[in-house]
């Protein structure tokens, strides 16, 4: 695996392949636990010509009255469930979507796939034995789908949201090595999470506490919400060297009318739209591209993409070869992002979901890369 090239070609002089988004990250920089205080994490100010090292609670000094912060208000489900087949074989489910009628779509980890119609006995929370089980109906979304469709049920007829909240585990990312704990139940969730449906947190928003939100409101920075239910595919690396061959995972989103109005009003008064996290960017740009305020999106943003709404982006540091590395490179410029990542690694920033954040400004006037 190559190190980040210290002298990359300019983004307007090349086309991009998967290898361009690879880099070596010391394992010690992968954050296993959150900072002691949400707003006490570090913030790399990358919207200036020279990167500046800050603390996240300094964010108000980088914004101004009339700006609009747009958050993703999705709520992380306790979506990981454990159990066993009738034969005694162990099974793990990661529920990605609640489908209705107590049906869910889930990833299944098991040594041998059970037959359709098999009922799995799931592990209940201590002291709350209530006959929790999952019956396999088939694959999802079709016969060739990568996920499986189950009916979740218990003796009381509770809905899947209640069952997961009671018996499920926090679906920590694969690079976090400890089992979920009470700390994770609190900190792998934003302070304003409202709409349940995600299996991964919108991590840039984890840095906001109520005191910081109150301070921003008092100085005239406005706030709006979108919803995108983050799926497990967010952790999957792109595997095709030719980026055009990559198939993005699909996630459900919604842009409320109140947020649409807030964005229009922000632009009219000369304010800046500040997306908190790449999920917010994907939501707003999906709406801009399709004209649909809700639905499923598999938008894949790579260098050369023309952004419609977002002026500034708050984001954490992302996995090598991930679609999110490509998104931030499209937003702020490939060369600039690679320089920021070199700075972050050299200065021991903490990476990924529980890691630190950076503030980026949209690169104006960039064009799709030309062929080599």
pLDDT digits (tens, 9 = 90+) for 28-41: 999 999 999 999 99
Task: Please compute the mean of the pLDDT values over residues 184-204 and round it to a whole number.
Answer: 97
- Dist. CA 120–CA 86, nearest whole Å: 7
Inter-residue contact 26 to 345 (CB < 8 Å):
yes
Q: How far is the CA of 321 from the CAs of 42, 102, 338, in angstroms?
A: 24, 36, 13
Domain edges within the chain: 11-76+184-361, 80-167
For the chain, state the CA radius of gyration: 21
Band of residue 1 on the pLDDT scale cut at 50, 70, 90: very low
Report the greatest alpha carbon distance in the chain: 65
Q: What is the mean pLDDT of the chain?
A: 92
pLDDT digits (tens, 9 = 90+) for 256-283: 999 999 999 999 999 999 999 999 999 9
Architecture of domain 11-76+184-361: 3-Layer(aba) Sandwich (3.40)
The pLDDT value recorded for residue 247 is 87
- Residue, of 93 and 12, whose pLDDT is higher: 93
- Dist. CA 343–CA 44, nearest whole Å: 9
Q: Which contacts qualify for 115-124: CB closer than 8 Å, 24 or more apart?
A: 118/85, 118/86, 119/86, 120/83, 120/84, 120/85, 120/91, 120/93, 120/150, 121/83, 121/84, 121/86, 122/81, 122/82, 122/83, 122/93, 122/167, 123/81, 123/82, 123/83, 123/167, 124/166, 124/167
Helices (H), 151-190: 160-167, 182-187
The pLDDT value recorded for residue 10 is 32
For 9-13, 144-148, 182-186, which range has the lowest pLDDT when averaged over its residues? 9-13
Band of residue 14 on the pLDDT scale cut at 50, 70, 90: low
pLDDT digits (tens, 9 = 90+) for 283-334: 999 999 999 999 999 999 999 999 999 999 999 999 999 999 999 999 999 9
Q: SS3 of 345, please?
A: helix
Backbone angles phi, psi at 281, to 5 degrees: -60, -50
Band of residue 13 on the pLDDT scale cut at 50, 70, 90: very low
Task: Please compute the mean of the pLDDT values over residues 119-140 and round it to a whole number.
Answer: 95
Q: Please give the model's pTM, rounded to 2 decimal places.
A: 0.91
Class of domain 80-167: mainly beta
For 8-17, 44-53, 326-335, which range has the lowest pLDDT when averaged over its residues? 8-17
The pLDDT value recorded for residue 46 is 95
Which token pair is 370? Answer: 């030309």
Task: Please compute the mean of the pLDDT values over residues 145-161 and round it to a whole number.
Answer: 95
Given a cut of 80, whether residue 367 has pLDDT beyond it is no
DSSP-assigned letter for residue 47: S
Which token pair is 29? Answer: 């920089």
- Dist. CA 14–CA 32, nearest whole Å: 36
The pLDDT value recorded for residue 9 is 28
């Amino acid at each position: 695996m190559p190190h980040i090239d210290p002298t990359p070609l300019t983004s307007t002089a090349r086309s991009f392949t998967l290898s361009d988004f690879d880099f070596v990250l010391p394992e010690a920089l992968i954050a296993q636990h959150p900072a002691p205080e949400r707003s006490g994490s570090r913030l790399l100010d990358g919207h200036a010509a020279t990167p500046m090292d800050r603390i996240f609670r300094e964010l108000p000094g980088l914004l101004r009255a009339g700006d609009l912060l747009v958050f993703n208000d999705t709520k992380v489900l306790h979506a990981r469930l454990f159990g066993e087949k009738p034969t005694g074989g162990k099974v793990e489910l990661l529920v990605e979507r609640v489908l209705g009628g107590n049906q869910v779509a889930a990833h299944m980890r098991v040594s041998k796939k059970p037959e359709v119609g098999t009922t799995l006995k799931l592990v209940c929370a201590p002291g709350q034995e209530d006959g929790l089980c999952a019956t396999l109906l088939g694959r999802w979304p079709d016969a060739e789908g990568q996920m499986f469709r189950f009916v979740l049920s218990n003796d009381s007829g509770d809905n899947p949201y209640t069952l997961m909240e009671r018996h499920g585990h926090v679906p920590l990312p694969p690079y976090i090595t400890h089992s979920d704990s009470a700390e994770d139940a609190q900190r792998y969730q934003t302070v304003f999470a409202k709409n349940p449906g995600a299996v991964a947190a919108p991590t840039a928003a984890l840095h906001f506490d109520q005191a910081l939100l109150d301070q921003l409101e008092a100085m005239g920075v406005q706030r709006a919400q979108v919803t995108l239910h983050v799926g497990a595919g967010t952790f999957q690396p792109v595997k095709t060297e030719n980026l055009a061959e990559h198939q993005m995972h699909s996630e459900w989103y919604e842009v409320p009318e109140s947020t649409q109005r807030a964005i229009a009003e922000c632009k009219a008064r000369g304010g800046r739209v500040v997306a908190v996290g790449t999920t917010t960017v994907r939501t707003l740009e999906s709406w801009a591209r399709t004209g649909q305020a809700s639905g499923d999106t598999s938008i894949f943003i790579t260098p050369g993409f023309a952004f419609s709404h977002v002026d500034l982006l708050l984001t954490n540091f992302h996995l090598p070869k991930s679609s999110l590395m490509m998104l931030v490179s499209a937003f702020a410029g490939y060369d600039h992002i690679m320089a920021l990542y070199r700075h972050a690694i050299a200065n021991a920033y903490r990476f990924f979901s529980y890691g630190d954040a950076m503030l980026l400004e949209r690169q104006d006037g960039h064009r799709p890369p030309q062929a080599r």
